[in-house]
Chains A and B, each alone.
Chain A
């Protein structure tokens, strides 16, 4: 008879092993996404009810959306409460825990005066939301820690007994001192709800992009098939399918066959969105990698060789920074019009050129100032006096310290490139051979005469773009906050281990 309480976390209690159940962050992420979906559904319902034009056509859909939202809320709560992560953290004199739906709490060891188990009403215990909880009493507050299912009371109390013994472990301090920056960063990331939501969204899109990519490769071998790897061929005109003639296949609403409907030529919008995801991820990944390499090389070299090279780099960066955002991208894409239209990968090339030529100044400035700050440290000076060469200083003192900044810049560059490609496609600077979300959206607007009736041609692409950019934004914000607590300037960004130093008390 296994007890329902998360034994794994309790068992893994040597504080060095501060780790939530593996992969449970995914469950948390899915649960929170459920909440977001519920809010979105309610938003749709409100929009439909608010606008008379929509209300006349889609009133039933509004009711369905509200019911779905309620189901989503209940399901997500159950999922998180039952399978979600619960975190513990122990230092020498403090005990911290975080429940999935609550704020992290820190309790000093001396403060705990009583541990108790609160049992719910047995009649209510069938509903998964009501579950037993542990009570921590301190001198001035009572903390309630909800467990997931029915628990063996005695066993739980035993566990807490061992827990309090662990609290007195005199070496507890050393366990977490040995952790690297990256490790504690990962821990903080796994605690960050928004960041995990973002990571979940990005992971889902990444899987879809891989799916589209494999389908694309197979499609290259056996071309002209209506289905490729359970996915409709994005260029296949569904009017030729058995059961569909041209009148039905064009602007077909969402159905079992076409999940997101079909567009003005009768092509499947879902398949086109997934293939577009593959293209966009290819451009964004390669573009942001190249941009990062340029930024790192220019930033570090200009900080190191601070004579004429530094002057050239900073002056050119100053000149480039006078361009407003996205204007240079349009310019480059226009200049590269012949390449964009003639070469098969010309669109990539144009975006690539524009992005890598015009996104480096900002990052280079940031990296440069950071390296200059690092070089003025005394340990670098000491290393120089001991005879270290510049390569050694670069490798052991500079590069490890600018990795966090580079990661932040990478996520920003990734988001910027996705926005840039979509904008370029939307304003018509695309090519026929490349499938992008932006150009599909522009064509949907151009050819769908009544967008209120043919809502799926615009609704699904825009939501698709919005979700990815939203996920990237909250993920990059979370990476920034967790890598550099100073940037956010709040105590909640500081890990527990440093809070004592900052506030005097945990």
Chain B
């Protein structure tokens, strides 16, 4: 299989995965409605407490018609896909009546600022530390970094966020409980603490992966041959080991990416940043089903494309994988 064919098949695969994942989300609602006998509209009942049952039923059926829940599942699914791919619309929020794609588009930059800056810091840092630690395996530096990263890796991000909020509450850095300032610089200043937390945690996460891959490569036969040839350590690491490690490293970045993104989303509750995680959790508490589906769809689309691009890059970097029957990303 040549590279062009592979890219074509992989892109088709991404779309199929995406359709499957969205179908799963839709069938979950149907499972809830048909197996548990629960209707999403019962959450509106709280507004009709005093109304007589006949009228309530009429209102509910009207509501169901308005929300499009009277149509069969497959029809709703294809309507959703049509709106998503042709109009770029994700439906209308039940709670606020706003367009979900507008809500997501408003929220996404706030998340992206935090995540983007953190990503730009933690990735080089983790690679630097990982490569250094793997060269000094068993030494003091390696042991110290390993213990420290295990500790940071074990803490959930929102707990570190809480600690940071409490500790820095005396300074002018915490966004909470002030109103969020507008403008890029204001957002950056507010995002300083979340960025710190994300860097602290996900440096450790990525460091562990990088170190493990690097050790695996440094144990391999061609490195031994290079040593036997009498090459310098610098040449061995930077010319032989790192080049062969590149596909692994791309995979490592791709594995850490969605996990760190979810961590940022959970942090937004603590720091009260109106990002995509904040919106999603608020929607989950209000049972705003279209927002939930929309945010999940956006997350899933991002993730699916990330996986697809990673596979293509890995295949491009490492030609021997092209001859394997069915390649997909190794977790």
Residues of A within 8 A of B (CB): 47, 51-54, 194, 315-316, 318-327, 330-339, 362, 365, 419, 422-423, 426-429, 441, 445, 451-452, 455, 458, 462, 465-466, 469-470, 472-474, 477, 487-490, 492
Contacts and interface: CB of A to CB of B under 8 A. Distances in A.
Given A339-B36, A470-B151, 13 more contacts: A194-B150, A319-B17, A324-B258, A324-B302, A327-B280, A330-B284, A334-B289, A334-B292, A338-B38, A428-B284, A477-B150, A489-B212, A490-B138
Contacts of A332: 28
B312 to A, nearest CB: 16
Nearest to B331: A362
A87 B277 CA distance: 51
B251 to A, nearest CB: 14
Give the bracket for the number of chain B residues in contact with chain A. 35 or more
Nearest to A330: B284
Contacts of A333: 284
26 contacts: A47-B167, A194-B150, A316-B20, A321-B331, A322-B18, A322-B300, A322-B307, A323-B21, A323-B299, A324-B258, A324-B303, A330-B284, A330-B292, A331-B25, A335-B28, A339-B38, A426-B158, A427-B269, A427-B285, A428-B284, A455-B166, A458-B162, A462-B162, A473-B150, A474-B154, A490-B138
Nearest to A468: B154
A465 B280 CA distance: 24
A428 B262 contact: no
Nearest to A463: B159
Contacts of A465: 156, 159
Contacts of B23: 319
A324 B38 contact: no
Given A53-B169, A338-B38, A466-B155, A322 B303 contact: yes
A316 B162 CA distance: 37
B150 A428 contact: no
Nearest to A338: B38
A325 B300 CA distance: 10
B17 A458 contact: no
B303 A462 contact: no
Given A323-B299, A477-B150, A451 B24 contact: no
Interface string B261-298: 11000100110000000001100110101001000100
B170 interface: yes
Given A320-B21, A326-B262, A427-B284, A488 B162 contact: no
Contacts of B117: none
B261 A489 contact: no
B162 A445 contact: yes
Q: Which secondary structure dominates where chain B touches chain A?
A: helix
Interface in B124-173: 137-138, 150-151, 153-156, 158-159, 162-163, 165-170
B299 A462 contact: no
B245 interface: no
B32 interface: yes
A334 B284 contact: yes
Contact of A324 (B18, B159, B216, B262): B262
Contacts of B169: 53, 451-452
A47 B258 CA distance: 31
A115 to B, nearest CB: 28
A324 B256 CA distance: 11
Interface of B: 17-18, 20-21, 23-25, 28-29, 31-32, 36, 38, 42-43, 137-138, 150-151, 153-156, 158-159, 162-163, 165-170, 212, 215-216, 219, 258-259, 261-262, 266, 269-270, 280-281, 284-285, 287, 289, 292, 296, 299-300, 302-304, 307, 328, 331
B154 A466 contact: yes
A51 B166 CA distance: 11
Given A324-B258, A324-B262, A334 B167 contact: no
A469 B158 contact: no
Contact of A326 (B170, B266, B328): B266
A319 B24 contact: yes
A319 B20 contact: yes
A423 to B, nearest CB: 6
B24 A324 contact: no
A365 B331 contact: yes
A490 B284 contact: no
B261 A51 contact: no
Nearest to B43: A337
Contacts of A319: 17, 20-21, 23-24
B101 to A, nearest CB: 18
Interface centre among B159, B219, B259, B299 (most CB of A within 10 A): B159
Contacts of B25: 331
B150 A474 contact: yes
Contact of A325 (B43, B151, B162, B259): B259
Given A319-B20, A323-B21, A473-B154, A52 B215 contact: no
Contacts of B29: 335
A466 B159 contact: yes
B281 A52 contact: no
B269 A331 contact: no
A190 to B, nearest CB: 20
A200 to B, nearest CB: 15
A330 B281 contact: yes
Contacts of B258: 324-325
Contacts of A441: 159, 162
A470 B24 CA distance: 34
A159 to B, nearest CB: 31
Contacts of B38: 338-339
A48 B167 CA distance: 9
